[in-house]
Amino acid sequence: MSTAAEHRASCDAFVAHIHLLCAEPGVRVRLSRGRGRPVEECAPMDRYLARRTAHRQGRRAYYTVASLIAMAGPQTHTPGVRPDHDPDSAPQDNPASLFVTPVEPTPTAALDPTAWYARPNLGATLATAVRRAGHQAERTESLLHVLTRLSDDQLHRRLPAPVTRLLQDGITPDWAVLLNDLVQRPYRRDKVGLRWRDAFYLATPEPRRT
């Protein structure tokens, strides 16, 4: 039984492995075909993922994240990312300001829970979309609440659509954090949902009082 820290480190290692696989266009195409599907319907992915996932809890999370990384394309194949939280750090009319900053994961960051939870989860990533890419705040908030309420099967099927929009706007989720949350979600759905909502609200402006 691995510790939580070891599991977090393994998430970074898995994501780095998928990035390496996706350097081959044919492999990337095969992995991308699994988006939204249960593991039982992803036979073309097994040759690349079975050895790393066959006996892991939350196996579908690994297949989902691998397919999302493959869907993202070569330009987003970085082992880890963090959004720039300073709204004044880049001009709003500069397209580069929409991109998150790639960060190579380190063993220390993976083992240190403080460093790990400082990395952006899905809620923080959606907040970045509101602040940097012009996503409508109330609509994004509603999307987040829907995602936190979905069953696990529905969430895996629904994720490709919002992730596609994020990627189109130059915003890449932290794949390892998303993987960790998806693995935990069947057992701690309320806790994961609360983390996502907290991260979203702490990174977006407070609504104006009417």
pLDDT at 180: 96
pLDDT at 205: 81
pLDDT at 102: 38
pLDDT at 104: 46
Q: How far apart are CA 48 and CA 52, in angstroms?
A: 8
Contact between 133 and 169 under an 8 Å Cβ cutoff? The reply is yes
pTM above the 0.75 mark? yes
pLDDT at 89: 38
pLDDT by residue for the chain (210 residues), tens only, comes to 568 888 899 999 999 999 999 989 999 999 999 999 999 999 999 999 999 999 888 999 999 999 999 998 765 544 444 333 344 433 333 333 333 333 444 555 556 778 888 999 999 999 999 999 999 999 999 999 999 999 999 999 999 999 999 999 989 999 999 999 999 999 999 999 999 999 999 998 877 665
| CA neighbours closer than 13 Å in the CB half-sphere of residue 83 | 26
pLDDT at 51: 94
**HEC readout, the chain:** CCCHHHHHHHHHHHHHHHHHHCCCHHHHHHHHCCCCCCHHHCHHHHHHHHHHHCCCCCHHHHHHHHHHHHHHCHHHCCCCEECCCCCCCCCCCCHHHHCCEECCCCHHHHHCHHHHHHCCCHHHHHHHHHHHHCCCHHHHHHHHHHHHHCCHHHHHHHCHHHHHHHHHCCCCCCHHHHHHHHHHHHHHHHHHHHHHHHHHHHCCCCCCCC
